Amino acid sequence: MTHRIITISREFGSGGRTIGKEVAAKLGIPCYDHELIEKIAEESGFAAEYIKERGEYSSHRGWLASAFSDRDFNGHSTQDDLWFAQRKVILELAEKESCVIVGQCADYILKDSANCLNVFIHSDLDKRAERIVKQYGESDVTPEKRLKDKDKRRAAYYQFYTDHKWGAIQNYHITLNSGVLGIEKCVEIIAGLY
């Protein structure tokens, strides 16, 4: 395996996605984020919208409810089917080319099969709140509550399917506080490690 993969896990609003895109652009390799949803849609037959709603991005009905309900005679839920499709797509990507993958438990999925640099991006709550309001606009819910909800979902999703703790130092080769260090510095450091 000669491809090299950078996986980026991130707190919501930390700019992890932007950092991933910029690192990939700098290195001249593709970055998979929302593009992954399309690929999982193709693989699984589920609609992209459905995947967004049920997967790591879930913002309406919790995926957890689905993970425990609707199980078929093998004990598989539709949520599990999504997980297997996600896993397959990510393994195939890593097999095919060097790239940046944002989120989707890629660090865990690739841990035994690819040459990965695993990155976690976080930032202080106030800076993240400022960022999501700027990026996604205001909503009825306070930005702090939106951040906590989203991170909670990501953590629960990660924990459920990997049995590891999301955001635990030991899972990552490097973690960066983007609010203090700045997006550009984070991009420079990560690209420099490639």
Contact at 8 Å (CB) between 141 and 192? Answer: no
State the minimum distance, in angstroms, from the CB of residue 162 to its own copies: 17
Q: Binder to its own copies among 147, 173, 187, 194 (CB under 8 A)? A: 173
Angstrom distance (rounded) from CA 42 to CA 34: 13
State the minimum distance, in angstroms, from the CB of residue 192 to its own copies: 8
State the minimum distance, in angstroms, from the CB of residue 158 to its own copies: 14
Question: Which run of H or of E encompasses 10?
Answer: strand 4-10
Contacts of 186 (CB under 8 A, 6+ apart): 15, 19, 121, 176, 178
* Site mask for its own copies (CB under 8 A), range 88-127, x = bound: --------------------------------x-x-----
Q: Binder to its own copies among 51, 176, 183, 187 (CB under 8 A)? A: 176
Verify binding: residue 169, its own copies, rule CB under 8 A: yes
Verify binding: residue 23, its own copies, rule CB under 8 A: no
Verify binding: residue 162, its own copies, rule CB under 8 A: no
Verify binding: residue 155, its own copies, rule CB under 8 A: no
First to last CA, the chain: 15
Q: Which of 185, 154, 183, 159 is nearest to 9 (CA)?
A: 154
